[in-house]
Amino acid sequence: KAGVTQTPRYLIKTRGQQVTLSCSPISGHRSVSWYQQTPGQGLQFLFEYFSETQRNKGNFPGRFSGRQFSNSRSEMNVSTLELGDSALYLCASSQDGAVNYGYTFGSGTRLTVV
């Protein structure tokens, strides 16, 4: 059974640019959540998508957005990048995030903003 696939693994971007990250969840999982992980703040919840609809949202500015496709694959977009956006972005897959039996995480995308 394939795990959660995130692409790309590493990215270097310049301030002001935008970036799109991709996540393919485990087959059959309909919920995809995105987290930002930094040494200072730990894992911070960005948003959750279920059946192509954003169901939950964390406390991040509108520069952070996402979407989910009919095959449950999800993308996350960050516009007008800031230095503080440098982080590991993790995608978490679950069958139905409303009852959390635990996530399966991808290996993450390491974003560096210079």
Q: CA nearest 93: which of 7, 23, 19?
A: 23
- How many Å apart are CA 8 and CA 42, to the nearest integer? 21
Cα separations in angstroms, 79 against 17, 32, 53, 72, 76: 6, 20, 20, 23, 10
Number of residues that bind other proteins (CB under 8 A): 23
Residue number with CB closer to other proteins (28 or 42): 42
Each residue 34-73 as x (binds other proteins by CB under 8 A) or -, in order, gives -x------xx-x--x------xx-----------------
Between 44 and 79, CB nearer to other proteins: 44
- What the block records as the tokens of 79 is 């516009």
Which lies closer to other proteins via its Cβ, residue 10 or residue 14?
10
Piece in contact with other proteins (CB under 8 A), picked from 11-19, 68-76, 78-86, 105-113: 105-113
* CB-based contacts of 39, cutoff 8 Å, min separation 6: none
Residue 59's CB is within 10 A of a number of other CB atoms, namely 7
| Complex with other proteins: residue 28 or 102, whichever CB lies closer | 102
Nearest distance, CB of residue 43 and other proteins, angstroms? 4
Site residues (vs other proteins, CB under 8 A): 4, 33, 35, 42-43, 45, 48, 55-56, 90, 92, 97-108
